[in-house]
Structure 1
Amino acid sequence: MTKLELLVKVMRDGGWHSTEELVLEVGHRFSATKHVAEKQGYRFETRRVGVRFEYRMVVEETVSKGA
């Protein structure tokens, strides 16, 4: 499995993931992998919690409204 595939697998739940978790799951250069994913159209949000950062993938939900 490629680093990009690992990153998408971990982050596709749409939840917030800490730097520490991403280092363990994807590797120390997860930010480089995140950059590659962004170039391929994936979107991410970043938030600061204290002195640490967390990241999440923006997951588009397909929800049918109406009827």
Structure 2
Amino acid sequence: MSPELLSILADPGDKGPVELITDSSGKEWLVNRRNGFRYPVEDGIPIMLLEEGEKNKDESLIQK
């Protein structure tokens, strides 16, 4: 994913920035570290739907 695209993407819930991570299986995610929501990136296309973030929430990703 291009840095330009990543810089304009925002979490659909709180409108804050997201960061790109790759998990141990090689799958890419856009992560909101304020609430732990993870949005999948499929074939280079971010799936930025609140339902996806809630479904893939990971408490361990939240930074305090």
Same fold (TM over 0.5): no
Q: Which has the larger radius of gyration?
A: 1
What TM-score do you get using the length of structure 2 for normalisation?
0.24
Q: Which structure dedicates a bigger proportion of its chain to helix?
A: 1
Choose between structure 1 and 2 for higher RCO, CA contacts under 8 A separated by at least 6 residues.
1
Q: Which structure dedicates a bigger proportion of its chain to strand?
A: 2
What TM-score do you get using the length of structure 1 for normalisation?
0.23
